[in-house]
Amino acid sequence: MLRPIPHNERLADVRYDIRGPLHARALDLEQQGIPIVRLNIGNPGRFGFEAPTHIREAIASHLRDSEAYCHQQGLTEARQAIVDVMRARGLSGVDTSHVFIGNGVSELIDLSLRGLLNPGDEVLVPAPDYPLWTAAVILNDGQPVHYPCPPERLGLPDPIEIERMITPRTRAIVIINPNNPNGAVYPKPLLEAIAALAEKHRLVVFSDEIYEGLLFEDAKFHAMAPLVQGSLCITMSGLSKMHRACGYRVGWMVASGRVQAARDYLRSLDLLAALRLCSNVQGQWAIPAALQGPDTHTALCQPGGRLFETRAALLRAVARSRYLRVVAPMGAMYGFVGVDARNLPGFDDQQFALDLLDQRQVLIVPGSSFNVSYRDHFRITLLPEAALMERVIDTIDGFVGELAQKARPHVAAA
């Protein structure tokens, strides 16, 4: 008998349910000819969104310039466009040597943590978080420590709670603003308080700002980098969301703040970038066009815009629901919906998501996938048309109602 091939045991603590077993089950159902309403992933191109024409044209016009490796940190023209944006935010000390371009922010999250962490080092991560952050900490020998951002606080953290979690092993804090999955947009005083904590305890700040331009109502985005002067700040953004170009796999990170004190770390990042030679060259030509071209995303979040109207449909449907609740997302492209499970003994978000998929052909992501302790939430994307969103929420509410009806005799008996 062949001996089983061992695997990396750290993967036992890693989860990514956005493309996990539920996703595999949905594929299986689709192969059987059963149509699935996919609300599990923020993938604009799958919902009829297109990358702006000027971005496509920038790539097409530079095909001949894309056939060789470029500098490991990225094309000079692309990095300079990113520097110009950061300088417009008041960061005069930033130059192209502080910019790293990657195959999406996903690659850069892994690279930035690999260059920082030693075994047992701790990283403060929001709960809920985009689960790649937790996974990347674990896979790079670190220990994620989750600070709560509960619905009761509109998805915002408490700096006092965060400081209590800091230990001598804490190396960094992650900020996701606007937040995925709950759509919270951090007010400036809160960011200032977190920046002060980072400076006091000499923590690296990782600010994931991939949704920075997708804002609703009166929400205002404040960049973290200008607020962090006495420590190192790594700002991350890219083309996937605001510019609807997920498949181009283009992201970037910018080091600011105490960069002189971080020279060894930045050299480590440069080495890691060189080991993978460079990121996708073709996609990098889209960066100057995206950052210097017309704004094509703000209108999506205003009345009449696709994301605005779908968000409004979500809020209307939840408002008339008997069993669902949601904190209105102020940014990003998701709703983090809660289920009233008081009359549903043993309710489990993972099983609920599987049953909803099998019985109603709707694919969602269980809330516990985002590293929260409670199991009564789920995430859906705001990318579908408004009419579809309203129908789906009604469907989910009705499904929860059926579960409550079935559970009623057991509740009464208890």
Together in a domain, 125 and 198: yes
Together in a domain, 115 and 34: no
- Domain-embedded: residue 89: yes
Together in a domain, 138 and 269: yes
Together in a domain, 188 and 286: yes
Where a domain ends, among 292, 312, 329?
Answer: 292
**CATH number, position 359:** 3.90.1150.10
Together in a domain, 247 and 345: no
| pLDDT tens string 154-172 | 999 999 999 999 999 999 9
- Domain-embedded: residue 1: no
Number of domains in the chain: 2
Total residue length of the chain: 414
**Rounded average pLDDT over 326-341:** 97
Where a domain ends, among 271, 292, 313?
Answer: 292
Together in a domain, 181 and 252: yes
Together in a domain, 286 and 306: no
Question: What percentage of residues in the chain have a pLDDT greater than 90?
Answer: 90
The more confidently predicted of residues 56 and 2 is: 56
pLDDT for position 414: 45
| pLDDT tens string 119-149 | 999 999 999 999 999 999 999 999 999 999 9
**CATH number, position 213:** 3.40.640.10
Instruction: State the residue range of the domain holding 237.
Output: 53-292
Together in a domain, 184 and 246: yes
**Rounded average pLDDT over 209-236:** 97
